[in-house]
Chain A
Amino acid sequence: MRVASSNWERKQKESQGYAIKNFLVDRSMSILVLGTLLTVFLLTTATREMTDQIVRDGALRQAQALVQTFQSMAFSSKPSSLQIQNMVSKVEQDLKGEGQGVRLITMPANPFERRDAQGSGPLDDFQRKALRQLNEGKVPSFCGLSEYKGEVSFRYAVLLSGPEESPGVDLLLEVVQPLGSVRADIKRQIYSGAGILLGLGGLGLWFLGAVFGRLKNLRDHRAASESILQEQVQQLLSFVSRAADGDLTSDVPFQGEDSVGMLASGLSVMINQLGELVWQSQLLSRQVVSSLSEFASSALRQESIVLEQSHRSSTLAKAAVTILDSSLSVESTMESMTVVAEHTATIAASGQAGLETMEWTMTQVTQSVERIQQRLTELNDRAGNIGGVVTTITRVADQTNLLSLNASIEAEKAGDYGLGFGVVAEEISRLADQTAVASLDIEEMVNEMQNAVAAGVESMKQLAEDVGMGVLHVQTAADQLTLIMYEVQQMVPKFEEVATEIRSQSLLADDMNETIQDLEGVARSSVDAIRESNHAINELKCLAMLMQGEVERFKVHQ
C-alpha cells in the first residue's frame, strides 16, 4: 500500500509537469498575439506623428506651388481681377479637399497703411501675425498651424500685388488646409499597408500554431494512455483505501484481462470474503452486547430488589429496637406502678383507719349535740315559766299603779279631806312603779333568754342534722375507700404478673433484634456482591460495545 501510494504520487507529479508545459505553450501563443498588437499600436502612434509632418509638408508644397503660379502670373503681367478669380477657382479645383480653400483679402498697398488695416473683413490671430511678419519684409511667406472654422488647419499666407484695375491695393493670399482630411487620407493608405502586414503576420502565426498543435497532439496522446493507467490505479487505490477505511460495500470499478484487471478481480474476491467475515462478527458482537445489556439490567433489578430488602430489614431492625426500648420502658413503668400501687394501698389503709376514727368522733359529736339540745329545751321551758311569773307580777303592778292613780285623783277631788288618802295613794303608786320597773326588767331578760334559747335550739337542731349527714357521708366514703383499697391490693400482684410478662417479652424482642441485625448484615453483603458483579458486567458490556464499535466500523453487504 505504501509503495502504491508513492508511485501514485510520482505519477501525479509527472502529470503536474505536463500541465505546466502545456500552459507555457498556450501562453507563448498569447504573448505572440499581444506583441503583435503592441507593435501595431506603436506603429499607429508613429504613423500619426508622421501624418502630421507629411500633411504639413504636403500643404507647404501645394501652397508654394500655388504661390509660384500666382507670382509668375503676377510678375509677368498685372492680372486683372477676373484672371485672379479664375486662378483662384482653378486652385480650388486642384485642391479638391474638404474644407480646403483659398482666401484673398484686399489690403492697402502702402505698408504703413497696411499695419493697421482691417482688410475686407476682421482678421484673426494668424492673419494678423502673418501680416506683421510680411510687412516687415523679413520673410516672403508665413505659414503655421492654427484653428480655422473650429478645425486645426495648416495655413499659408503670402502677400501679392493687387490687380491692374485697382492700383494701390495688394492682396493677402491665404491657403487653408485642415489637418483632419489630410490625416484621414494618409491613414487610409497606412492602414491598408498595415492590413497586409497583419495578414502576413497572421499567416505566419497560423503556421506556427499548426506546427505547435501537431506537437501538442502527439504529446497529448502519450499523456492520455498514461492517464488511463494512472486512473485505473487511482481507482484501485481509492477502492483499497475505502476498504481500509471500513467500507467493504464498494465493487471493483472495472474488470479486465490485463494485469491491472486481474489485480482488480483478486482484490474484489478478497474484499468480499473479508466483508462476509466482518458481517458475521458484527452479528455476533451485537448479540453479545444485547445479551450483556439484558444481563446488566437484570443485575440492576436484582440489586435494587436486594437493596430494598436491605432497607426493609434495616427498617425492621429499627422497629425491633423501638419495640425493645418501649418494652423496657413499659417494664420500668410497671415496676414504678407496682410501687405506687403498694404505696396507695398503704395510704388507703391508713386513710380507712382515719375514717373510722372520724366516724366515731362524729357519732360522739352527734350525741353531745343531742344532749345539748335536751338541755336547751329544758332551759326554754324554765324560761317560759319565769315569763309567766313575770307576767303575773307585771299585771299586779299595773293594777296597783292604776289603783294608786285613781286613788290619788279621788283624794284630790276630796280636797282637804282626802289629803291623808292622797299620801297613801302616792305611796302605793311609788311601790307599783318600782315593781313594774323590776318586772319589766325581768320580762325583757326572760324574753331575751327565751329568744336566745329558741335560736340555740334551732341551730343545735340544724347542727345535729348536719352532723348526721356528715356521719352518713363519712360512712359512705369509708365504704368506698375500703372497696378501693381492696381493689388496689388485688391489683398489686397483677401488676407484678404483667411486669414479668413484659420482661420476657423484652428478652424476646432483644433476640429478634439480633436476628434482624444479622439478616441486615447478610443483605448488605449480598448487595455488595451484586454491585461487584454488576460492575464486572458493565465492564464486560463496555468491552463488548468497544468491540462492536470496532466491528461496526466496517460497512458490509447485509
Chain B
Amino acid sequence: MLYLVLEIDGECYGLNALSVTEVTPLVELEQIHEGPEFLAGLLNYRGRPVPVLDLRRMIKKKPCEKRYCTRIVIVEYPRTTKTLTLGLMAQKVVRSVRVTQEFSPMELRNAPYLGGAVVERGRILHCLTLEKILSPQQALEVFG
C-alpha cells in the first residue's frame, strides 16, 4: 500500500494514497475569524471553497510554518452518508512510501485518529485514520 508521508516536528504520519485527491502547494487561504483555531482557512479548490485543517495546530498546538515543503493535501472526508472534500495542511509533504507490513493496531483515547504504527526505513510511521481525524464536536464546528 502507498502512503503519503506528512511530517510534523520530526514525527512521521502516513495517509493512505487512495484517500488522497491531490497535493497542492501552499497558497493564501481565506481566513475565517469566527472559526475554530485548528481551521486554517478556506481554499479555493477548482472553484469550490474547501475547509483546510492545520494538522500541526491540531496535534502540536502550533501553526504550520510557511515553506515550500508546507503543502495542502486534499482528501475526501467520509461523513455518515456522503463524503466531504477537506484540506489537511502539513509540513514536509514531499514523499510517499510503500508499506508492505501490517500496521500494529493502536487505540488511544486522546488521539483516536492514530490507527496503528509501523517501522519504515528505521523510523516510526503512524497511520492516520481519516474518519477519526475530527472528533464529532470538531466535525460539527467545521461542517455544521
Contacts and interface: CB of A to CB of B under 8 A. Distances in A.
B17 A433 contact: no
Interface string B21-36: 0111100000000000
Interface string A468-487: 00000000000000000000
Contacts of A401: 94
A408 B2 contact: yes
B95 interface: yes
A394 B94 CA distance: 13
A406 B24 CA distance: 9
Nearest to B22: A406
A535 B132 CA distance: 146
Contact of A398 (B4, B22, B25): B25
A405 B4 contact: yes
Nearest to B94: A401
Interface residues of B, number: 16
Residue of A398, A429, A436 with most partner-chain B CB within 10 A: A398
Interface residues of A, number: 14
Interface string A395-422: 1001001100110110011000000000
A398 B68 contact: yes
Given A394-B68, A402-B25, A402-B71, A409 B20 contact: yes
Contact of B93 (A395, A405, A412, A433): A405
A406 B95 contact: no
Contacts of A395: 68
A413 B95 contact: no
Tell me what chain B mostly uses at the interface: helix, strand, loop, or mixed.
strand
Contacts of A398: 25, 68-69
A405 B24 CA distance: 10
A409 B25 CA distance: 15
Nearest to B24: A402
Interface string B107-138: 00000000000000000000000000000000
Contacts of B2: 408-409, 412
A433 B22 contact: no
Contacts of A413: 17-18
A405 B25 contact: no
B17 A408 contact: yes
B96 interface: yes
A409 B68 contact: no
Nearest to A405: B23
Given A398-B68, A402-B25, A405-B23, A412 B95 contact: no
Secondary structure dominating the interface of A: helix
Nearest to B69: A398
A429 B17 contact: no
Interface in B56-76: 68-69, 71
A413 B19 CA distance: 9
Contacts of A429: 95-96
A406 B23 contact: yes
A401 B23 CA distance: 10
A409 B95 contact: no
A22 B20 CA distance: 197
Contacts of B24: 402
A429 B2 CA distance: 14
A408 B96 contact: yes
A425 to B, nearest CB: 9
A413 B71 CA distance: 20
Contact of A409 (B23, B69, B71, B94): B23
Interface string A537-551: 000000000000000
Contacts of A402: 23-25, 71
A406 B22 CA distance: 6
A395 B25 CA distance: 11
A492 to B, nearest CB: 78
Contacts of B4: 405, 409
A321 to B, nearest CB: 98
A407 B20 CA distance: 12
A412 B69 CA distance: 22
A332 to B, nearest CB: 86
Contacts of B23: 402, 405-406, 409
A402 B94 CA distance: 7
Interface string B1-45: 010100000000000011010111100000000000000000000
Given A398-B25, A412-B17, A412-B18, A405 B68 contact: no
B18 A405 contact: no
Contacts of B68: 394-395, 398, 436
A185 to B, nearest CB: 186
B46 to A, nearest CB: 14
Among A394, A398, A402, A406: residue with most chain B CB under 10 A: A402
A412 B25 CA distance: 20
B51 to A, nearest CB: 21
A394 B25 CA distance: 14
A433 B94 contact: yes
Contacts of B94: 401, 405, 433, 436
A258 B71 CA distance: 189
Of A402, A405, A436, most buried by chain B (CB within 10 Å of CB) is A405
Contacts of A394: 68
Contacts of B20: 409
B97 to A, nearest CB: 10
A447 to B, nearest CB: 14
B72 to A, nearest CB: 11
Interface string A152-164: 0000000000000
B110 to A, nearest CB: 30
9 contacts: A394-B68, A395-B68, A401-B94, A402-B71, A405-B94, A408-B17, A409-B20, A412-B2, A413-B17
Interface of B: 2, 4, 17-18, 20, 22-25, 68-69, 71, 93-96
Given A401-B94, A405-B94, A412-B2, 19 more contacts: A395-B68, A398-B68, A398-B69, A402-B24, A402-B71, A405-B4, A405-B23, A406-B23, A408-B17, A408-B96, A409-B2, A409-B20, A409-B22, A412-B17, A412-B18, A412-B96, A413-B18, A433-B94, A436-B68
